[in-house]
Amino acid sequence: MKTREMVNIAMIAVLASVLSLFELFRMPRGGSVTLYLIPLFFAAVNEGLKTNVIIATITATLQILLGGYILNPIQIILDYYLPVLLICTSQIFPFNRYVNLGISSLLAMGSYVVSGMLFFDVPFVASIIYNASFFVPTIILNMIVFAAINPRLSKVYKANHTV
């Protein structure tokens, strides 16, 4: 792996982790509306699958280290690693980038719903309502901002990436 690739991976993972700390709204039992998905969306449409798996792993690890709530290893996977991995690897779906990001984001929310049911004793419907109350606004807000900045950002990124 080249130095430039490692720096890009680090920048995306750190930016996502730092943005997750700036909460626009926080739920009483965890979960918040943040802009942390923007760098992950950017990586998902501009990087390859292998690179995105690395970005997802580093991002999830940083989120845990910066204040994660840990009950057991399965909960860590469902609340941290799997959601970020699903978002970063959205290119596995055969649709356009925005549909892929929407699908992968909803699957990520599904991971939070399962975690809520298994580890926080929340019934299925209640877990959907609770997680949707913060994650759907997060998805929408991040998609709007990403759609606005991505064309220019990707153009600059690709121009500098080919050097």
> How much is the pLDDT for 162?
62
> How much is the pLDDT for 154?
83
CA angle, 31 then 43 then 87, to 5°: 40
- Transcribe 98-116 into DSSP letters: HHHHHHHHHHHHHHHHHHH
- What's the pTM? 0.92
The residue extents of the domains of the chain are 3-19+35-161
Which architecture, in CATH terms, is 3-19+35-161? Orthogonal Bundle (1.10)
For the chain, state the CA radius of gyration: 15
How does pLDDT run across 90-146, given as a tens digit for each residue? 999 989 999 999 999 999 999 999 999 999 999 999 999 999 999 999 999 999 999
- Please tell me the distance from the alpha carbon of residue 110 to that of residue 23, in angstroms, as a whole number: 21
